[in-house]
Amino acid sequence: MKVKVKDYLVKMMIITLEMIILFSESEESVSSSSDDEEKRDPNDAVEGTDDVRQEEIKVKKDQEEAENNGRDSLEDSAYNAVNNKIHYLCKDVQEALTRLREYELRTITRFSSFKSTKNFGNTDLFAKNHKVYWEAEGISNNGKPFVILSSKSMDCHHGPDRNVKHKQTYKEKKKERLSTNSDHYKGKSYLIVQDTKKFDCPAKVTMQEIVQFPEYNKAKSPPSIKLETFKRNSSKTLKEKLADKSLANYERRILLSIDDVGCHKYHPMGKTQNISQSMDPEISSKIDMFVKEGITSVREMKRLIKLVVADMFGKENLPPSNSRRFYPSIPIIRSKMDKSKQKLRYSMIDQECLQQKIDEWKKANPSLNTFYRPKEDTGDGKCQSFLFVHQEKWQRDLLQRYGDEILLLDATHKTTRYAIPLFFLVVPTNLDYQIVATFVTENESFESILEALKVVKSWNPSLKPLFAMTDYCKEEINSLECVFPGCEVLICDFHREQAWGRWLKATKNGCSGRKDDILPRLRRIARSKTIEEMNEALISLRSSEFWEEDKYNNLREYIENYWLQIKEVSLFQ
């Protein structure tokens, strides 16, 4: 049952308590800074005050550097603060994102994009008409006319929830699924204390792609012409050249405007924000890279992430251990790894992925033998079954060398995420057992196994094994006897013992209490060397005290009708 806390104040109290607990747990990892915390002025005790002060110091420092370098305060990615906003004029989108990331790290904030113009950062200047501006917030003092081509807007990650309609649709569909499939589908129930991290924080970030025209800088206005007349004439000339696509001298810039720390509302600020931040893009890209290299363990990925963070910041400047931006939790890492694996797939349809993989294998290894038939509708109301057979050259060599004496056929179940059987053909070599062919069928029918074995036989026409071994599966036994005439099929001791043990252990069969008495008598039959020994073992079983009892009827039927049908001596040797 889902519990939703509607009262806003109660929700904020719960979230604050959670953050205080998590922050106290990570206090040891940042103990080196505890002395500085005690020396702070009591007036600075409010969360976020230090961050605001650091930002003001940063503003002054950047402006002083700009003045010392003899340039305008906003040229070459300079920095300015106007009306509780911080502005950067950057050369490209990448530099703007770098500036935003630096700001987020300094202030422990995070922003997420919710609206962006297509091809932001590379918008065609001549695609449509534009209004010419001379002044705007953040770039009012450089004197260059400019046009705005596109924009990108970002919210604080605690900002307004812009997916309310989508979430409501999802809840309705889930409710409908529960009601229509109540007998087979049971949705999981969770105790949800905090149902969202969206608190309508008004803080925003805006990026504007602008193009400046240095030729028409108002500083170049002749003294004899009024400034307003110069602006009007220059704007008209610019529009004409833009319409004719004859303008060549211009500068593309990105104007980054960030709401100051003081604009954040309705959620905690400062170090408590570490636990609520999403994964850093650089960490995300590293996970993609590691997954591509073959890393599948979540714990190994977590260890590698720690090494990446140490390389990013250095061992002396590591972020706090509770920073989910750089140290994501195991569930988040696992989810990201799953998404990374999906990106590496050729298609979301597994059969298409397999076809692409086969083409890739054949290109790298021309001697590879594969047979692949996807499951699809043939158009006449029938559907062809799935079949995949695989054999490499070294496997053919081993099969031809060691396969004439005995061939082992082993089927595996529940070893993959697909409900289809995987078969291995195995031969004993001078060292060990080796897989010499693999095939996957849609089911374990006689026709499917027979077709796969015929494919293997076509690749190895001289193969004539004297014996074959498998578990007690009539479809496998009949298939082996059809493909390899004269081959004597034996039952595998391991699979026979496994089948007996499972059957006797099952309480529904009523024999679990006499398992230790029954198994030795069955083994005596299976290990008989002669017909006389086998007959004596059968007499011993049938004359046992439990054989004629009514409660062991299931045992008699199981042994007589299932196992004693194949009591030939060769099958039990």
Per-residue pLDDT 10s for the chain (573 aa) are 334 444 444 455 555 555 554 545 444 444 444 444 344 443 333 344 454 455 555 545 554 544 443 333 344 444 455 567 888 889 999 999 999 998 988 888 889 898 998 889 888 888 888 888 888 777 766 788 889 999 999 999 889 988 888 888 888 887 777 666 544 445 566 666 667 888 889 999 999 999 988 888 877 778 878 888 888 888 888 888 888 888 878 889 999 999 888 889 888 888 878 887 888 889 999 999 999 888 889 999 999 999 999 998 888 888 888 888 899 999 999 999 988 888 876 555 678 888 888 988 999 999 999 999 988 877 777 788 899 999 999 999 999 999 989 999 988 866 666 778 899 999 999 989 999 999 999 888 899 999 999 999 999 999 999 999 888 888 888 899 999 998 988 888 888 888 888 888 888 888 877 888 888 888 888 888 788 888 888 888 888 877 777 777 888 888 877 777 765 534 444
Residue 55 covered by a domain: no
Q: Facing residues of 212 across strands? A: 146, 251
What SS3 class is residue 377?
strand
Cα R_g (the chain), whole angstroms: 37
Verify that 252 and 295 share a domain, yes or no: no
Integer Cα distance of 205 and 258 in angstroms: 5
195 φ, ψ (degrees, to nearest 5): -85, -10
Residue in 439, 422, 425, 438 with CA at minimum distance from that of residue 387? 439
Tell me, what CATH number does 485's domain have?
3.30.420
Verify that 367 and 323 share a domain, yes or no: no
Verify that 303 and 356 share a domain, yes or no: no
Residue 559 covered by a domain: yes
Residue in 46, 48, 54 with CA at minimum distance from that of residue 86? 54
The count of other CB atoms within 10 Å of the CB of residue 452 is 23
Phi-psi map region of 313: left, alpha, beta (phi>0 left; psi -120 to 50 alpha): alpha
Verify that 410 and 519 share a domain, yes or no: no
What token pair was written down for 460? 């190895």
Verify that 390 and 474 share a domain, yes or no: yes
Verify that 156 and 296 share a domain, yes or no: no
Residue 504 covered by a domain: yes
Q: Is 486 exposed, middle or buried (0-12, 13-18, 19+ CB in 10 A)?
A: exposed
CB 341 within 8 A of CB 291: yes
Residue 556 covered by a domain: yes
Q: Which of 208, 237, 272 is the last residue of a domain?
A: 272
Q: Which helix (H) or strand (E) holds 289?
A: helix 281-292
The whole-number pLDDT of residue 180 equals 64
What token pair was written down for 423? 């078969």
What SS3 class is residue 343?
helix
Q: Which of 285, 318, 345 is the last residue of a domain?
A: 345
Q: Which helix (H) or strand (E) holds 556?
A: helix 553-558
The whole-number pLDDT of residue 40 equals 40
Rounded to whole angstroms, what are the CA distances from 551 to 189, 555, 559? 44, 9, 15
The whole-number pLDDT of residue 551 equals 78
Residue 527 covered by a domain: yes
Integer Cα distance of 99 and 89 in angstroms: 10
Contacts 24+ apart (CB under 8 A), 233-236: 234/132, 234/145, 235/132, 235/134, 235/145
Contacts 24+ apart (CB under 8 A), 282-289: 282/308, 282/312, 283/308, 283/309, 283/325, 283/326, 283/328, 284/336, 287/333, 287/336, 287/337, 287/340, 288/340, 288/343
The whole-number pLDDT of residue 20 equals 54
Integer Cα distance of 423 and 354 in angstroms: 17
Amino acid at 235: S
Helix axes 330-344, 281-292, angle to 10 degrees: 60
Tally of domains in the chain: 4
Verify that 332 and 476 share a domain, yes or no: no
Verify that 421 and 360 share a domain, yes or no: yes
Integer Cα distance of 499 and 559 in angstroms: 12
Give the end-to-end CA distance of the chain in Å, rounded to a whole number: 59
Q: Which of 345, 360, 394 is the last residue of a domain?
A: 345
Residue 33 covered by a domain: no
Residue 169 covered by a domain: no
Verify that 356 and 487 share a domain, yes or no: yes
Integer Cα distance of 1 and 191 in angstroms: 7
The whole-number pLDDT of residue 378 equals 72
Tokens 């960490």 correspond to: 283
Those residues whose C-beta lies under 8 Å from the C-beta of residue 356, and which sit 6 or more positions away, are 346, 347
Verify that 225 and 374 share a domain, yes or no: no
Phi-psi map region of 262: left, alpha, beta (phi>0 left; psi -120 to 50 alpha): alpha
Whole-model pTM? Answer: 0.52
Residue 16 covered by a domain: no
Verify that 223 and 151 share a domain, yes or no: yes
Q: Where are the alpha helices (DSSP H) in 327-468?
A: 330-344, 350-364, 393-402, 446-459
Verify that 480 and 503 share a domain, yes or no: no
- The per-residue DSSP string of 493-548 comes to HHHHHHHHHHHHH-GGGT-GGGHHHHHHHHHHHHT-SSHHHHHHHHHHHHTSTTTT
Q: Which domain holds residue 236?
A: 83-161+196-272
